Amino acid sequence: MEKDRSATARTLNKALPFLQRYDGSTVVIKFGGNAMGDDEAMRSFARDIVLMEQVGINPVVVHGGGPMINEQLSRLGIMSEFVNGKRVTDAATVEVVEMVLSGRVGKRIVQAINAEGGQAIGLSGKDANLMVCDQADPELGFVGRPSQMNPAILRRLGEAGMIPVISPIGAGRGGETFNVNGDTAAGAVAAALKADRLLLLTDVEGVKGADGNLISELTQARMHELIREQVISGGMIPKTETALEAMANGVRAVVILDGRVPNACLLELFTEHGAGTLIKG
């Protein structure tokens, strides 16, 4: 028991420089993947977010919910078409997407954070015109790409000690509702807030090299090289593109990390070696 207490004290002592480093900073966390469907993983994530807020960080959560959307579409008998691997979002589909993301998924995250002592509030990109979108591709229907961000509401919530939980639903200029890729939305929110960190939680360790081993740190130049060499490929390309675009628009650094690992956010922010792949410079 004494050994356990000593280990805990040493861990807290080592975390002090990192706690000081991030005091007052804004960290945007994209939450998605398998961790969203597991009750204990959800509780662990919520505790991490509340702890971050308690030690002086301004956390902002942006979530996805693809599996839940697929499940609800199947229940309703709505068939999806795909163009180049991307779902066509028609009028019926976007209604379901908004219902699932802003309702079921977003409120579950809010409830989990509040249960751990935080003050979370759910909103979408349509609230206070946070995320105004243009149509990304006419073939894809109501799929949007953020073109104008209005983050004042997020700053006011942060000043009030509240934790925003944002569903990636955008407002169209003509009153449309747009479905936005979760990573894209998180990158746009992070850029609008000039966040110190954007954490992209995934179902993989991070970016891997040609040898299959995790790369703990990357420069933007090296990331471009790995994409050209096709070492970075498949589903990792959109995440790296989000990282590069966010950093080009004022985000200090981006981390791609495994959201299935318990306390992944805390390990990244408050330990020397971090977690996942840090992209900077």
Question: CA separation (Å) from 201 to 19, 161, 173?
Answer: 21, 24, 30
Pairing label, strands 120-124, 163-167: parallel
The pTM (predicted TM-score) of the whole model is 0.92
Name the nearest CA neighbour of 98 among 75, 120, 65, 133.
65
Distance CA 25, CA 212 (A): 33
Which backbone phi and psi does 21 adopt, to 5 degrees? -60, -40
Fold of 19-280: Carbamate kinase (3.40.1160)
Distance CA 235, CA 238 (A): 6
- Count of alpha carbons within 13 angstroms of residue 66, beta-carbon side: 13
**Strand pairing partners for 89?**
141
Q: What is the pLDDT of residue 205?
A: 85
Name the nearest CA neighbour of 148 among 116, 165, 117, 173.
173
pLDDT tens, residue order, the chain (281 aa)? 555 556 656 666 676 677 777 788 999 999 986 667 788 889 999 999 999 999 999 999 999 988 889 899 999 998 888 776 677 899 999 999 999 999 999 999 999 999 999 999 999 999 999 999 999 999 999 999 999 999 999 999 999 999 999 999 999 999 999 999 999 999 999 999 999 999 999 888 889 988 888 999 999 899 889 999 999 888 788 888 999 999 999 999 999 998 888 888 988 888 877 778 999 87
Catalytic residues: 30, 33, 66, 183, 239
Q: At CB < 8 A and 24+ separation, what contacts does 50-56 make? A: 50/113, 50/116, 50/117, 50/118, 50/163, 51/266, 52/27, 52/265, 52/266, 52/269, 53/118, 53/161, 53/163, 55/19, 55/22, 55/23, 56/19, 56/22, 56/23, 56/24
Q: What is the pLDDT of residue 157?
A: 96
Q: What is the pLDDT of residue 21?
A: 77
Distance CA 120, CA 142 (A): 28
Q: What is the pLDDT of residue 7?
A: 60
